[in-house]
A and B are shown apart, each in its own frame.
Chain A
Amino acid sequence: MIAVKATLVRDLTLLLRRRGEVLNPLVFFALVITLFPIAISPDPELLAVIAPGLLWVAALLAALLSLDSLFRSDYDDGSLEQLLLAPQPLAALSLAKVAVHWLLTGLPLALMAPVLGIMLALPAGSYAILALSLALGTASLSLIGAIGAALTVGLARGGVLLSLLVLPLYIPVLIFGAGAVQAAILGDGVAAHLAILGALLAASLMLAPWAIAASLRISING
């Protein structure tokens, strides 16, 4: 338990000292959202229709952006080996790393989304659900994505491959996440969507740490 806490604290400290890395996904999120009205149309009525999907897709891509670095620096400087050799369950230690990723990527994205929602003329009444669905959903995304990050950490250019591996697995979360926001706008069925998002998170929490641990052991072998 001490080791898990220490890993959590260590990764938080490291990332908070390099604030740029924490801010980049947020800036990316805002930028991508800016592109859509420019590319499609500034018409608020049209934007309101596609806003839930746009916000979710852009947040998903922003969360994906920072995944590659999840284990990369640990792999490069050799502390990943040490993590593997700790007399502690690797699954628990990697869970701590994923938790940091969510705290510094998923959660800020969820908190920022309502602001961008205003810019896309997202109908009132769906803002809280937008933030909540993103907070729940990005936790699953971090967990699933970490499997891909662990599989590709040993590869010199794993970045694009990582997206290729992980994006298809993101689709259920995207469907129910964007669906929750849409349901909130229509005023119907929000609870069901959120419940399924919760179920997806529970399943990822149970299974992903083992897959991450197994993948890390493979990657360390080169």
Chain B
Amino acid sequence: MWAFIHKLGSPKWFYTISAKLQPWFWAAAVLLLVVGSLWGLAFAPADYQQGNSFRIIYVHVPAAFLAQSIFISMAVSGLVFMVWKIKVADMAAAVMAPLGAAMTFVALFSGAVWGVPTWGTWWMWDARLTSMLILLFLYLGVIALRGAFTSRDSASRAASVLAMVGVINIPIIKYSVDWWYTLHQPASFTLTSRPAMPTEMWLPLVIMVLGFYSFFIALTLMRTRSEILRREANKRWVQDLVKGQVEETR
């Protein structure tokens, strides 16, 4: 077990194994996203109340799922980095943060666009949207903290601690925002909590969610790989690798 964890922690090992995994996740992501979008946008029936505008759900919900999942994976990576001093975990956490922030933004933006036909306004202090907005601030905090340190080692540790503190707070924030919302605006019409969605509507949604996750994994693998090369640029194995590739192209 220990040997395995530390083997996993070696950037070189991760670099080799991720090269094999990466194409599969890219393929899955493209396939699922194409099928899901076509099905969801063209073939799924329109909503009896919202009409075609409900189709934003196929972007909004997966993005919102991912926004939260990425924060959790970031915190878990931070924990792994702090406890076992595995640098790859920190590199992954570093590349996840901007992606998570982008997903949060997509969820917020699609929510706002969706708000126009449903509420007649771009923004409502809806419980979900408010939690999303706070999540975006948490992401920005982690990114800003990482950028503020001159020493990368300290930056990694600080960002890890903040991600862990944040992840403990996310459920508390969610719970309190829900409480606040029900207190101030007795449940009117929320975007996504629809009773009994028919199968032909939610099945494409599941496919889209899976597609988004595959995309996230593929992109994280790819970006972690380039982060490895960047940080290990003066290591022997990277220099050998580059030399080999240069000779190949000659």
Q: Which residues of A contact B (CB under 8 A)?
A: 147, 151-152, 154-155, 158, 161, 164-165, 167-169, 171-172, 175-176, 179, 196, 200, 203, 207, 211, 214-215, 218-219, 221-222
Contact = CB atoms under 8 A, between A and B. Distances in A.
Contacts of B140: 164
Given A172-B173, A214-B161, A221-B154, A165 B134 contact: no
Nearest to B179: A175
Given A215-B158, A218-B157, A155 B148 contact: yes
Contact of B161 (A200, A218, A221): A218
A151 B144 contact: no
A215 B161 contact: yes
B138 interface: yes
The 6 closest A-B pairs by CB, nearest first: A172-B176, A168-B137, A218-B157, A165-B141, A175-B176, A175-B180
A169 B148 contact: no
A207 B157 CA distance: 18
Nearest to A207: B168
Contacts of B172: 172, 200, 203
B154 A154 contact: yes
Given A155-B149, A161-B148, 9 more contacts: A151-B161, A152-B145, A168-B138, A172-B173, A172-B175, A207-B168, A211-B161, A219-B154, A222-B154
A176 B180 CA distance: 8
A2 B177 CA distance: 42
Contacts of B177: 171, 175
Contact of A152 (B137, B148, B157, B173): B148
Interface of A is mostly: helix
A207 B168 CA distance: 10
A176 B144 contact: no
A143 B173 CA distance: 17
Contacts of A219: 154, 158
B173 A171 contact: yes
Contacts of A214: 82, 161
A155 to B, nearest CB: 5
Contacts of A164: 137, 140-141, 144
A147 B141 contact: no
Contacts of A167: 137
B232 interface: no
A147 B137 CA distance: 17
